[in-house]
Amino acid sequence: MSLPSGIISEYFGPFRIVLASNILTAIFICVAVLVAGNNWIPLFVCRFFIGLLGGTKLTALMILIANWAPSNEKSTFTSCLLGYGFGSLITPFCGSIIIETMNWQWSFYGTAVATVVFLVAWIILVADHPIESWFCSTEEAEFIERSQEGAVRKGWIKPPVIKMMTSIPFISSILGNFGAMSGLFLSVTLFPKFLREALKFDLQTIGLIAPLPSVSRISMGIVYAAFVHMALNRWNVKKKYIRKGFVICSHIIPGIVFLLYLINLVTIFGNVLAVWLTVLSCFFMGGSIVTTLVNPQDLAPNFAGTQTGILTFFGAMPGFILPAISSKITEECSELPEWAIIFAIVGCIYLVTGITFIVFGSAELQPWNEKKDERQEQITI
């Protein structure tokens, strides 16, 4: 759903898309409880549509950021998207408490209730544009519009997808995001498997350690965004130096840290060091909030949704590629040396994609950001 979701969100508006997707999500969550039984197919169908609807939300939120955020506040607004990670941390914890005190059905219903509460807040507080919001004053709306310097315009036209996909800065952004998502998938999704198979931790210990990389990434992402806010607004650092400079944190340092696992091919280091190297890499990974993730806002905020949909599509590929690679490498043995090779592969991906973004990436507004329909172009010609 990632690819078309950006265009759909730009056409209908982020407010409607998030509203509709969450209403349907709450409905499917409740239906999933009712159809759960001996046959897994109805439950699978409900979960499939919940995932499909979830694919529309990130692109819609990026459009909302493009419409609302002043030019130098993009990173701060984008850091709010880390709420996704925070939600994934607290939901299993809350769900387990609900299951123990009530039953598993109420863990689903509880999620649906939380969605409804969110929807009430969304309806009251959110609008597609500042000028449409009841609580945003005219002066504030005009300030936001001035700060965007004409880069954001209302109205929908067909996104210039061909120009996007032939744009060197945008291709660099795709590669940079691919690298960031590769590291994220390894250090968050595959991390429990690494703890169990390579480090031989028990289930209780895994439950305590597994959230550490996510906590590290989320907390530092907020810190990076705050620092960038000061750098842009107080110290007048140019945006291109921010985007490319922080790639050292978001890509280069995590890549080097992952390569350090190759030491295990020579001598096995302890479990504590193995865990903390991953946590350390996520400490720097949070920098992707102010580099590749926010970059669509720099290149073409008018089409931030379409760009984010494309980035998400390619960024999801490590979720298919890395499990295949890891299962092949650990097919006969799943110890630290085998996992060291997996970490090193991702480390190389980090370094290559990070260097590519530094060399070819851009923070400049691209010509294809301009909203000009075909009739206007014919008149101009």
- Structure tokens given for 109: 């219903």
How far apart CA 229 and CA 104 sit, in angstroms, is 43
Q: 189-234, pLDDT tens digit by residue?
A: 889 999 999 999 988 888 888 888 888 898 999 999 999 999 999 9
Residue 227: which of 64, 364, 67, 72 has the closest Cα?
A: 72
How far apart CA 295 and CA 174 sit, in angstroms, is 10
- Structure tokens given for 237: 């650092």
Phi-psi region at 335: left, alpha or beta (left = phi > 0; alpha = psi -120 to 50): beta
What mean pLDDT value characterizes the chain?
A: 90
- According to the model, what pLDDT value does residue 304 have? 94
For residues 314 and 42, which has the higher predicted lDDT (pLDDT)? 314
* Beta carbons within 10 angstroms of residue 218's beta carbon: 21
Q: 18-45, pLDDT tens digit by residue?
A: 999 999 999 999 999 888 877 788 888 9
Q: Which of these CATH numbers, 3.40.50.300, 1.20.1250.20, 1.20.58.110, 3.40.50.1980, describes 1-147?
A: 1.20.1250.20
* Beta carbons within 10 angstroms of residue 222's beta carbon: 15
Which position has the token pair 């291109």? 240
> What angle in degrees, to the nearest 10, is found between the helix axes of 168-184 and 336-360?
160
Q: Is the pLDDT of residue 340 over 60?
A: yes
> What angle in degrees, to the nearest 10, is found between the helix axes of 41-54 and 14-35?
170
Instruction: Give the domain 160-381 fold.
Output: Growth Hormone; Chain: A; (1.20.1250)
Q: Is the pLDDT of residue 379 over 60?
A: no
Q: 270-309, pLDDT tens digit by residue?
A: 888 889 999 999 999 999 999 999 999 999 999 999 999 9
Q: Is the pLDDT of residue 378 over 50?
A: no
Its sign, for the CA torsion 353, 358, 364, 368, is negative
Q: What angle do CA 40, 88, 323 make, to 5 degrees?
A: 65
Long-range contacts, 195-203 (Cβ 8 Å, 24+):
195/275, 197/330, 197/334, 197/335, 197/339, 198/274, 198/334, 198/335, 198/336, 198/338, 198/339, 199/271, 199/274, 199/275, 199/336, 201/271
Residue 309: which of 172, 166, 164 has the closest Cα?
A: 164
Mean pLDDT of 245-271: 91
- Separation in Å, CA 122 to CA 78, 115, 127, 143: 17, 10, 9, 23
Q: Is the pLDDT of residue 377 over 70?
A: no
How far apart CA 255 and CA 266 sit, in angstroms, is 19
Residue 62 neighbours by CB under 8 Å, 6+ apart: 6, 78, 296, 297, 304, 305, 307, 308
Residue 232 contacts residue 242 (beta carbons within 8 Å): yes
- The boundaries of every CATH 1.20.1250.20 domain in the chain are 1-147, 160-381
Burial of 359 (0-12, 13-18, 19+ CB in 10 A): exposed
Q: What angle do CA 14, 156, 372 make, to 5 degrees?
A: 145
Length of the chain equals 381
- Separation in Å, CA 72 to CA 192, 217, 265, 290, 340: 38, 22, 46, 11, 40
